[in-house]
């Protein structure tokens, strides 16, 4: 999607957004609405929000949120992005979407605290088991993967300790074992490295399966926004 020699900041500003004539600002307007009006019931039924081809309801997306999702995808080199109300909501949505009763999940020992709390509480109640692995020890991660392991969380660097794991080795291992990887990329913010192209050679041959991040932190910048 992005040309490798184009700076990401340039790429983000030159996103194919069409501003209204006479007001060519890079920032799109903020649309605030829950309900949108359809010409008739048939038109309502024809509309699709899952593929972002049209608008159905404010919670499903507005012109503003769809554009922010596209730009976040461009920032991280992802294919699709879903905005939610906070970083923790992004973590919970991901775990709830991917895990079923009987599944096991692995968390780095320096994971963002509330991710651990969610796993010890709600996910345990739903019959999802979790274990923590040593974020700095690929062999420990390997030893803890079982046939029931469905999801491995990663953080780079990890919360509080700021230790940086051997992401390439860990993602490669999980891929060999058929386990889904999700990176909490809050600290990398989509700028420190490309999580979907870890070899940084433009081949996209090694990357995590999904990322989450707290827009609450670096992307919002001012400490006055909650978003994930
Ligand atoms: C803050 C943070 C979150 C959660 O973000 P909220 O928007 O506060 O829910 C998730 N992961 C990491 C690493 C964070 O620092």
Nearest CA to 136 among 117, 163, 159? 163
pLDDT tens across 169-218, in order? 999 999 999 999 999 999 999 889 999 999 999 899 999 999 999 999 99
Nearest CA to 107 among 45, 184, 191? 184
Question: How far is Cα 156 from Cα 186, in angstroms, rounded to an integer?
Answer: 9
1 pLDDT more than 90: no
How many angstroms is it from 113 CA to the middle of ligand 1? 9
Best of 83, 114, 220 for a ligand 1 pocket test (most atoms within 8 Å of beta carbon): 114
| Three-class secondary structure of residue 223 per DSSP | coil
Q: Is this structure's pTM higher than 0.85?
A: yes
Q: Which two tokens stand for residue 143?
A: 């030893």
Best of 189, 216, 218 for a ligand 1 pocket test (most atoms within 8 Å of beta carbon): 216
- Judge contact between 110 and 158, C-beta under 8 A: yes
Give the up-direction half-sphere exposure of residue 218: CA atoms within 13 A in the CB hemisphere. Answer: 11
Q: Which two tokens stand for residue 175?
A: 């891929």
Question: How far is Cα 34 from Cα 40, in angstroms, rounded to an integer?
Answer: 18
Q: Is the CB of 219 under 6 A from ligand 1?
A: no
Give the up-direction half-sphere exposure of residue 105: CA atoms within 13 A in the CB hemisphere. Answer: 30
DSSP state of 122: I
pLDDT tens across 68-88, in order? 999 899 899 999 999 999 999
The residue whose CA has the least distance to atom 5 of ligand 1 is 87
How many angstroms is it from 129 CA to the middle of ligand 1? 22
Given this model, what pLDDT does residue 157 score? 96
Nearest CA to 129 among 101, 109, 155? 101
Q: Is the CB of 93 under 6 A from ligand 1?
A: no
pLDDT tens across 89-110, in order? 999 999 999 999 999 999 999 9
């Amino acid at each position: 999607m992005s040309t490798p020699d184009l700076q990401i900041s340039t790429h983000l500003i030159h996103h194919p957004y069409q501003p209204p004539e006479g007001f060519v600002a890079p920032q799109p307007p903020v649309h605030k609405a829950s309900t949108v009006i359809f010409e008739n019931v048939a038109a309502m039924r024809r509309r699709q929000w899952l593929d972002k081809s049209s608008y159905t309801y404010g919670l499903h997306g507005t012109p503003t949120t769809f554009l922010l999702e596209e730009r976040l995808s461009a920032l991280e080199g992802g294919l699709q992005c879903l905005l939610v109300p906070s970083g923790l909501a992004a973590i919970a949505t991901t775990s709830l979407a991917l895990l079923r009763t009987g599944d096991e999940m692995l968390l780095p020992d320096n994971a963002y605290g509330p991710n651990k709390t969610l796993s010890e509480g709600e996910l345990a109640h739903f019959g999802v088991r979790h274990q923590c692995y040593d974020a700095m020890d690929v062999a420990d991660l390997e030893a803890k993967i079982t046939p029931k392991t469905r999801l491995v969380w990663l953080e780079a660097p990890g919360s509080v300790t700021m230790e940086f794991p051997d992401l390439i080795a860990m993602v490669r291992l999980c891929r060999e074992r058929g386990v889904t990887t999700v990176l909490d990329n809050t600290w990398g913010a989509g700028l420190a490295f490309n999580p979907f192209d870890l070899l940084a050679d433009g081949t996209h041959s090694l990357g995590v399966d999904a990322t989450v991040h707290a827009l609450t932190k670096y992307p919002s910048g001012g400490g006055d926004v909650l978003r994930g």
